[in-house]
Amino acid sequence: MQPRPMNRVEPAMPPEAYKTFAIVAPVSTHWRPATCAEVDCPDYRNGWRVRVEGLPPQMLHDARTARHQVNGRWVPYRYVEQRVADGETWLMFEGGQPCFRAATHRTRIDRPELYVVRDGDHRGNPRGTKARQHQRPQFWTEQFAEHQQALADAHQKG
C-alpha cells in the first residue's frame, strides 16, 4: 500500500520561524508486532487471491510453496488454483490463515502518547535546538495556547 502524497501549502517563512506541536506514538516504542487476528485483517478473515500471470517465477514459486506456523509446526498454506479464462489464473487462499503481509501487522501497546514541541516545521529544525517533551498533556496544551495567543497578539499589532 502506497502512502498518500502530502498536500502542504508552501510556507511563507523559513523553517526557523515556525514551531511544531506534535502528539506522537512512535512505532519503535508504542507498537508491537501483531497477528492477523489481532488486527482483524480482512485477508485473514475472508481469504485472498493472487493472480498467477505477471508474477515473476520466483514469487509464483514462493506463493505456491509458502508455509506458516500452526501450534509450533510449519504447515503449507491452503489454496486452490482457479483458472478463470485463458491467461487468467488465480491462487485462491482460504480465510483463517495468516496473510502474506502478516509480518507487517502492528498493534498499539498501552503506553501514553508523547507530547512534543520543537522548533522548525516539516522542513527541519535549522537551529538544531532540542525538542521539548512535556510530562503531562495539559502542559503541552498550555504551551500551545500561549503560543497561539502570542501569534494572535503579534498579528493584531501588525
pTM for this prediction = 0.69
pLDDT, position 2 = 66
Cα–Cα distance for residue pair 20/128, rounded to 1 Å: 13
pLDDT, position 1 = 56
Concatenating the DSSP letter of every residue in the chain gives -PPPPP--PPPSS-GGG-EEEEEE--HHHHEEE--TTTTT-HHHHH-EEEESTTS-HHHHHHHHH-EEEETTEEEEPPEEEEEEETTEEEEEEPSSS--TTGGG-EEE-S-PPEEEEEESBTTB-TT-PPPEEESSHHHHHHHHHHHHHHHHHHHHH-
Over residues 32-53, mean pLDDT? 96
User: Does the structure show a pLDDT above 90 at 8?
Assistant: no
How does pLDDT run across 26-40, given as a tens digit for each residue?
A: 999 999 999 999 999
Cα–Cα distance for residue pair 96/99, rounded to 1 Å: 9
How does pLDDT run across 93-135, given as a tens digit for each residue?
A: 999 999 999 999 999 999 999 999 999 999 999 999 999 999 9
pLDDT, position 10 = 86
